[in-house]
């Protein structure tokens, strides 16, 4: 994506935010279609990581983000599977399942809505051995399901292997391609040995930062 396109997206998002904040209430209804297009409501949010590490950002959970419905909605490849386990904070409510990713396996999440305000996410993960990396990507799709872009947002490293940890934030860095209507997360165990487990993935639409 070019610098000019990034600037256009950033400016559009800022303009939409400004319009929403300063518009008189009498005209608010007229602006709803524009606001909903640029800044769609992606579901109710809560500060799910606040009790874990003090993260005060608000996140929403997409469908089956905690694997309590098995692999429903997820696309698993090369031997990924749902196992009996759960992150210990129960950020998504009580659960007993998690995703297991042996070396070389991959999983793609159900779709979730995105907006122009730099969506980011976090999840819980644990590596069952050292020297292993978990690659995280965001897949962007258009209205017809066409792929509009793939963003490599980074890797999670097995620093404290064996124990569940909340991941760092993985950010899209305002890389939302034009004509994108929804996105997915794809996680891949890029290590040669050792299994990763992930659980309770959440998305922060950054709408709370508007004021």
What whole-number distance in Å separates Cα of residue 112 and Cα of residue 65?
Answer: 10
List, in order, residues 6 or more apart from 191 with CB less than 8 Å away.
103, 129, 131, 132, 133, 134, 158
Token look-up 């659960």 returns: 95
Specify which of 67-81, 142-156, 161-175, 179-193 reaches the highest per-range mean pLDDT: 67-81
CA angle 150, 107, 134 (to 5 degrees): 75
Range with the poorest average pLDDT among 12-16, 64-68, 149-153, 169-173: 12-16
Read off the pLDDT band of 191 (50, 70, 90). confident
pTM of structure: 0.78
Enumerate domains of the chain plus CATH numbers: 40-210 (2.60.120.260)
List, in order, residues 6 or more apart from 4 with CB less than 8 Å away.
none
Q: Token pair of 105, please?
A: 């396996």
Mean pLDDT value of segment 96-100 = 98
Name the packing angle between helices 28-38 and 3-22 (round to 10°): 150
Examine the pLDDT at 22 and tell me if it is beyond 70. Answer: no
What whole-number distance in Å separates Cα of residue 189 and Cα of residue 155?
Answer: 9
Q: Classify 37 in phi/psi space as left (phi over 0), alpha (psi -120 to 50) or beta.
A: alpha
């Amino acid at each position: 994506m070019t610098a000019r396109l990034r600037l256009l997206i950033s400016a559009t998002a800022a303009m939409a935010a400004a319009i929403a904040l300063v518009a008189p209430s009498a005209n608010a209804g007229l602006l709803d279609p524009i606001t909903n297009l640029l800044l769609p409501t992606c579901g109710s949010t809560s500060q799910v990581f606040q009790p874990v590490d003090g993260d005060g950002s608000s996140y929403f959970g997409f469908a089956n983000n905690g694997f309590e419905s098995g692999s429903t909605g997820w696309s698993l490849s090369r031997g990924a599977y749902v196992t009996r386990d759960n992150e210990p904070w129960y950020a998504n409510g009580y659960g007993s399942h998690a995703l297991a990713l042996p070396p070389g396996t991959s999983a793609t999440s159900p779709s979730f809505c995105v907006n122009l305000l730099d969506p980011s996410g976090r999840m819980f993960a644990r590596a069952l051995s050292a020297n292993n990396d978990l690659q995280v990507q965001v897949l962007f799709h258009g209205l017809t399901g066409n792929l509009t872009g793939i963003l490599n947002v980074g890797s999670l490293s097995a620093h404290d292997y064996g124990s569940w940890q909340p991941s760092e934030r993985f950010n899209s860095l305002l890389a939302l391609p034009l004509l994108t209507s929804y996105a997915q997360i794809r996680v891949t165990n890029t290590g040669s040995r050792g299994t990763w487990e992930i659980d309770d993935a959440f998305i922060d639409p950054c709408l709370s930062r508007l004021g």
